[in-house]
Amino acid sequence: MSNRDLFAREALAQIPKILTLLDRNPHSPTYGCFDRTFWQYKVIDFPAGMSQEFVYPLALAHHCDLPGNIYYQQPMIKEWVKAGINYACWSSHANGSCDDYFPYERAAGAAAFSLLACLESTSLMSLEHSEAVLDFFRRRADWLAKHQESGRLTNHQALIVLCLELVGKLLKTDRWDDSKQERLEQVLSWQNPEGWFIEYEGCDPGYHTLTISCLARVYELNKSERLKNAIASAVKLAAEFVHPDGSYGGEYTSRNTYNFFPHGFELVGKWLPVALNINDRFLQGLANGLGSCYADDRIIGHHTWNYFLAWRDFISSRPPLQPRTPGRIHLKQGGILIDRRHNTELYLALNKGGVFKLFRDNKLVASDTQFSLLVQDGNKRRNAVGHLVDNYQVHLGADQIAIAGNLGWAKQKQMNPKNLIMLRVVMLSLGRYFPNLIRRILQKILITGKQKTPFSFSRRLAWQNGHWQIEDRLTAESWDNVVTADIGCDRTSIYVVMSRTFQPGQLQPAWDLSDRLRNLNYGESLNLTRDL
């Protein structure tokens, strides 16, 4: 199988599940709905608008001329794509918006992803829509053009720019030109001088590739030198985050994702050939089974359509792989340090307590997400962790790195019947008029902010005799309430939809520290030393 076809094979493998998520019965009142929890299981009281994005992978599968593709040019695929677009129209609010996680949420991300899918599928399949569907496109574009969601998620803003570009071309109008330009200015202003685009609290290389993908498409449709320079800066940074084994991203990033969206690099590769190196390195990892799994009911669509597009627009003439950047790359504002020396590569989160990945001879040696303690607090158990974003004390030397601070309480809030009823009551009354306020409150509860624990830590990484020595120290007045403790490879807790997916690097066993803590006396510290 060619490298190019790896993208298509990975995408085609998801189509049976996407079709299973779809209500394919034309006599059903939910015909065209991709939210199986709503139409089949009936365990939720509204359909997630994001699910209608799945029309796009189906449309691309319909056009994927690859041996063994049973969906190629199948008339029923076209019927189901049209049904999905019709359902997106029927299930939206009067202003064109849609919900994702709770009623009257009016989620910008879900609205943008699904509108992009509907617009692109319409063009791909040469669909002729009713005036109601065309009016739905107008209403959703109007809403996206005016709406500003809480939190700074650049990938959503780039998606909105692309949607406004495409809907204007489809409907042959300049109605959203001013809004599109204003939104693009916002996206470009959110690019840090270091090259990354902000995602909530910092730099997430995974979502960074989605932003690049959207902006590369915008550039193809409407070229500008400023946009080209911004994309080039972003691509050059993304190249540094492809690990030597071909994997990408992980728990040391701001949103803990293994996201990788390859399409933008093929588009940018037309005028910046080094961008193709990024995909070529990633394809090496994909061929060796190092891709992350995104095959759950809500997020399966994003990577599927992007992989299809990377296959479709794959550039056949590719430059040789360039040598990896030697030495140290310090993203001071992004809070990430990459250190390459001899046969090792270290990816270290300075703003997350020293969470790191370490590679030697192009293989993963250690994936470390800092201390994680299960603590008895009355009749509840709480999780004290060292991976939350914070302004830690950091000292950088040529051969030594030191980080110190406090563990934080992991955000582990779960829904229960009482909370769900309260949320429904709020959203069916005042909340429906102030969805952004509810979103901000939930973001604070689930994502941002940190509560310190009585546990403090220090981590020192020293380069000695061709390897890294890690010294960890954990301090507390008492260890009596600690139930278990370890250092694991995937102990993340921040609520991010695209995080906590499975990746083969997570097969590394955790380092159990429970017995060591039990043997400590009052006031003693836990001291650990490892040579990696």
* Each residue's pLDDT tens digit, 380-392: 999 999 999 888 9
526 closest CA partner among 489, 491, 482: 482
> DSSP label at 253?
S
Task: Map residue 276 onto helix, strand or coil.
Answer: helix
pLDDT of residue 123: 97
Sign of CA dihedral 515, 519, 522, 528: negative
Q: What are phi and psi of 220, to 5 degrees?
A: -65, -35
String of DSSP letters for 163-198: HHHHHHHHTT--TTHHHHHHHHHHHHHTB-TTSPBE
The mean predicted confidence, pLDDT, of the chain is: 94
The angle at the Cα of 529, spanning 528 to 532, to the nearest 5 degrees, equals 135
Q: Identity (one letter) of the amino acid at 490? A: D
pLDDT of residue 33: 98
In contact, 48 and 101? CB cutoff 8 Å? yes
pLDDT of residue 70: 98
> From CA 313, how far away is CA 308, in angstroms rounded?
9
Averaged pLDDT, 502-525: 93
Assign residue 287 a region (left: φ > 0; alpha: ψ between -120 and 50; beta: otherwise): alpha
> From CA 506, how far away is CA 489, in angstroms rounded?
6
* Each residue's pLDDT tens digit, 214-253: 999 999 999 999 999 999 999 999 999 999 999 999 999 9
Q: Which CATH architecture does the domain made up of 3-312 adopt?
A: Alpha/alpha barrel (1.50)
> From CA 372, how far away is CA 392, in angstroms rounded?
17
* Tokens at 462, concatenated: 């020293």
Sign of CA dihedral 494, 439, 261, 15: positive
* Residue 289's pLDDT band (cuts 50, 70, 90): very high
pLDDT of residue 457: 98
Which of 447 and 127 is assigned the larger pLDDT?
127
Sign of CA dihedral 62, 64, 65, 67: negative
Averaged pLDDT, 402-428: 84
In the chain, % helix, strand, coil (3-state, to 5) comes to 40, 20, 40
Question: Is residue 446 predicted with pLDDT exceeding 70?
Answer: no
- What percent of the chain shows pLDDT beyond 70? 98
* Residue 185's pLDDT band (cuts 50, 70, 90): very high
Question: Is residue 472 predicted with pLDDT exceeding 80?
Answer: yes
In the chain, where the domains are located: 3-312, 329-411+447-531
